[in-house]
Amino acid sequence: MRKVSAIILSISLFAALTGCGGNTYTISVPDASQVAAIELTESGRSVAVNDEMGINIIVNALRNVNSQTKNESIQDYPVNAEDIIYVDMTLKDESHFSVFVYERRDRYYMEQPYNGIYSMKERDHDTVEDFMD
């Protein structure tokens, strides 16, 4: 019995050390001071946010994401989602940071394709969505 327990413990330790058993992703939303402009796109309509206050509001809403969900992002675009807003930040170094913000089954998410899907509070989702109005 000890031998079996030792083998199971060894396998569990190996899986933990090698990262087996699920991917853990992280998302690093840029600091507002790094953002030159934000473009929001929903259903073919785009809104540019260039003012410092608007940039701060959106960045803070995105930085408030909760933990990563158990769902993986395996496509370029979210599926089975409603009210999808594409958020494209142009950074001052001319690089881009892009995510999707959306609703699915009365829950709110931020997704970075091939990185991860993160849960959001409704108020943070609504903060981003308010800029589309």
Reference 89, options 57, 126, 123, 118; nearest CA is 57
Model's pTM, two decimal places? 0.79
pLDDT digits (tens, 9 = 90+) for 37-80: 999 999 999 999 999 999 999 999 999 987 777 788 878 899 88
The 8 Å CB, 24+ separation contacts for 44-51 are 45/132, 47/131, 47/132, 49/131
Residue 20's pLDDT is 47
For the chain, domain boundaries? 25-130
**CATH classification for the domain delimited by 25-130, as one of 3.20.20.100, 3.10.20.310, 2.60.40.4250, 3.40.50.300:** 2.60.40.4250
* pLDDT at 66 (0 to 100): 76
Which H helix or E strand runs over 36? strand 35-42
Predicted pLDDT of residue 65: 87
Classified as helix, coil or strand, 82 is: strand
Instruction: State percent of the chain over pLDDT 70.
Output: 80
What mean pLDDT is predicted for residues 89-111?
96
Q: What pLDDT digit, counting tens, does each position of 2-41 carry?
A: 554 444 444 444 444 444 445 566 788 999 999 999 999 9
